[in-house]
Amino acid sequence: MNFLNTLERRFGHLAIPRLVHLVAILNAVVFLAGQINPAFISKLALDRTAVLQGEYWRLFTYIFIPQTTSFLLFLLGFLMMWTIGTGLEQVWGKFRLNLFYLTGMIGTTIAAFLFDARYSNFMLNLSLFFAFAWFYGDMHVAIFGIIPVKVRWAAWFTAALLGIQFFASPMSYRAALLMGLLNYLLFFLPLMLSKRVHDFQVARRRETFQAASTPEQTPLYCCHVCKRTDLEHPSLTFRVGRDGNDYCEEHLPKANDAPVG
C-alpha cells in the first residue's frame, strides 16, 4: 500500500475521474454505431496483426466494444458497469481505479500479442466485477433484471464457470485468461493473503479471550461507525484502523487512511 500511496502522490493528478463511466458511455456510442454499420466494430478490435501494420488505435478502442447486439442485454450491462464504476471509485479513489483498469488493459494486450488472437474487453470488465464483489459482496443485483442475488454469489458462480472453462481449454486460453485477470490478481491476491492472516489472528485472539474466561457476551470488535459487533454479526469482517478504532467491512476508511488490523 505504501508503494501505491507513493505512486498516487506522484501521478495522481493524471488520473481520469469517473473513468468507468466514460468507458460505459463510449460503449453506448459504439453500440449505436454498430447498429448502423456492423463493420465499424471490427475496426476497433484488438488484433495484433492490424496493430503491427500501424493501426495503433486498436490498443485502446477495443475497450469500447460492447459484448452483445441485444439492446436489453446491453442496457443491463451498461447499468451494471455504471454501478461498478461508482462503487469502485468511492472505495479506491480515481487513481487506484485508473491503475487497476490500466493494468488489466496491459495484461489483455500482452495476451493478444503472445497468442496472435483477437481479444475483447470481456475479461477486463469481468475483473471490474470481481473487484466490485470484493467490496460490495452483500449488495443484491437482479440477474436478467428479474432474479435478485447477492453480488458475492454471482461472482463465485462466474468464477466457477471460468474455472471449468480453464481446465477444459488449451494452454493458450489458460494463459490468456490469467493475463486478462492479471490486474485482479495483482491487487487482490495480497489482500486475500492478508485476510487469511487477519482471520488467523482473530481466531487466536478469541482463543486468548476464552482462555482468560472472558464472558461470551463481550464482543471483540465494535464498529466505530455503525456500532455493530462481531457477536451480533459474525459474518462481518472487522479491522482495526490507524486511529485505533474498529471498523466493519462496510465502513472501512478510505484507501489513504487504510486500516492496519
Does the domain at residues 2-181 carry the CATH identifier 1.20.1540.10? Answer: yes
Instruction: Report pLDDT digits (tens) over 49-97.
Output: 888 899 999 999 999 999 888 998 899 889 999 999 999 999 999 999 9
Percent of the chain exceeding pLDDT 90 equals 30
Three-state SS for 185?
helix
Mean pLDDT of the chain: 84
Contact 130, 140 (CB under 8 A): no
Residue type, 139: M
In this predicted structure, what is the pLDDT of residue 3?
Answer: 78
Q: How far is CA 243 from the centre of its chain?
A: 27
Q: Across residues 189-204, what is the average pLDDT?
A: 79
Contacts of 231 (CB under 8 A, 6+ apart): 216, 217, 219, 220
Q: Rounded distance, CA 174 to CA 176, Å?
A: 5
Cell of residue 237, nine digits: 469482517
Instruction: Report pLDDT digits (tens) over 89-108.
Output: 999 999 999 999 999 888 88
Burial of 167 (0-12, 13-18, 19+ CB in 10 A): exposed
In this predicted structure, what is the pLDDT of residue 260?
Answer: 45
Strand positions, DSSP E, 92-250: 140-143, 147-150, 238-240, 246-248
In this predicted structure, what is the pLDDT of residue 211?
Answer: 64
Three-state SS for 114?
helix
Domain extents in the chain: 2-181, 216-261
Instruction: Report pLDDT digits (tens) over 174-183.
Output: 777 888 788 8
Contact 229, 219 (CB under 8 A): yes
Q: Please tell me the pTM assigned to this model.
A: 0.71
